[in-house]
Amino acid sequence: MKIFAAPLQGFTDYVWRNAHRMVYGDCIWRYYSPFMRLEKGNFRKRDLRDISRDNNAEDVKLVPQVLACASADAVKIVAKIVEMGYEEVDVNLGCPFPPVTRKHQGAGMLPYVDEVADLFKALATMTGVRYSVKMRLGMESADEWTGILPLLDILCPAHVSVHPRTARQQYGGEIDYKQFAKFYSLSKWPVVYNGDVRSADDVTRVESSFPGLHGIMIGRGLLMEPGLSLNDYSIEMKKRFYDHLFSGYSKIYDEHQLVLKMHAFWEYFMSGEDRKLRKKILKSRNLSDYEVAVKAFWMAMGAI
Ligand SMILES: Cc1cc2nc3c(=O)[nH]c(=O)nc-3n(C[C@H](O)[C@H](O)[C@H](O)COP(=O)(O)O)c2cc1C
């Protein structure tokens, strides 16, 4: 089964992807960048830095993502991505954040099939690029995908990843396997499952429920257990992964930003382990407190 690393804004940036590839090897079929969008008509510097070829290790198979938005903006972003050396772009029709969806962007575009059709038509005119689509079942209702499915023929995507929730549900609540199964059986485009995969058993369960899947995309599961797709939970690997990540971020951020960045990382990383020691890490106020707390954690885990 092909495993895809989901994009997670604020987490799966180039430092995370490079560290993951370096330590866990070739276990991820494709890594996706967090979505790119324009701010007042301009590219965000951090988006460009994140996909720049100079920053991404050559063996990281990266697909940049564009947030579904007005056609002219999307075309501008895709042209830039192609200019930067990529041949595949993922189109995000899944982002559930109200400031985004209110503007009919991300999952907020799903109920507006005419807008989706316009976007797909504009993207389809571009040469030298293939697309994949990442979507939810709907914005408000879990059957809105039925309006989108026929439109995929305009884009001829390499695959469609589906997170079987509505945007209203954000990232919690019941996954709607029934609607996903309908999408899966009706789609003529390869389908990738995405949602709540947290263990190798989950991978097996999804694979056996949907044997024709093109792949499984994992987001938060990989933040918690970076070796999940290899079924490798060894503490040594986790420590190596952590060391690469910390050293990568140390080169980019000042001390204050670095601690904040690492706090976000520890919200997920090894979240099933010693609660007290993890809490100390998350509560640390400066870099030296942080490093003391992390050292205590690794010692308790037997990693040092
Ligand atoms: C903090 C956070 C940031 C995310 N950023 C993106 C993003 O930039 N693009 C995107 O398509 N999905 C984004 N997602 C959604 C994930 O890619 C994924 O679809 C979702 O987390 C469900 O998969 P999981 O249960 O394996 O985590 C984000 C999710 C979270 C929690």
Query: How remote is the CA of residue 6 from the centroid of ligand 1, in Å?
Result: 6
Q: What CATH number has the domain bearing residue 40?
A: 3.20.20.70
Count of other CB atoms within 10 angstroms of residue 40: 4
Give the per-residue pLDDT at 212: 96
Whether residue 93 sits in one domain with residue 111: yes
Q: Which of 203, 230, 257 is the last residue in one of the domains?
A: 230
Give the per-residue pLDDT at 116: 98
Give the per-residue pLDDT at 260: 97
Whether residue 225 sits in one domain with residue 239: no
Give the per-residue pLDDT at 165: 98
**Is the CB–ligand 1 distance for residue 6 below 6 Å?**
yes
Q: Rounded to 10 degrees, what is the CA torsion of 54, 55, 57, 62?
A: -100
Whether residue 193 sits in one domain with residue 240: no
Distance CA 95, CA 25 (A): 29
- Number of domains the chain contains: 2
Give the per-residue pLDDT at 206: 98
Whether residue 155 sits in one domain with residue 274: no
Please tell me the residue having the least CA distance from ligand 1 atom 29. Answer: 8
Mean pLDDT by 10 residues, the chain (304 residues): 97 98 96 97 97 97 97 98 98 98 98 98 97 98 98 98 98 97 98 97 97 98 96 94 98 97 97 93 97 97 94
Query: How remote is the CA of residue 106 from the centroid of ligand 1, in Å?
Result: 12
Q: Which two tokens stand for residue 118?
A: 């316009």
Whether residue 218 sits in one domain with residue 93: yes
Does the CA dihedral 105-110-113-119 come out positive or negative?
A: positive
Amino acid at the residue 268: Y
Whether residue 197 sits in one domain with residue 140: yes
Q: Which of 204, 230, 256 is the last residue in one of the domains?
A: 230
Range of the domain at 95: 3-230
CB 135 within 8 A of CB 110: yes
Give the per-residue pLDDT at 177: 97
Give the per-residue pLDDT at 14: 98
**Is the CB–ligand 1 distance for residue 165 below 6 Å?**
no
Whether residue 101 sits in one domain with residue 48: yes
Give the per-residue pLDDT at 301: 95
Residue listed under structure tokens 């050292």: 295
Q: Which of 202, 230, 258 is the last residue in one of the domains?
A: 230
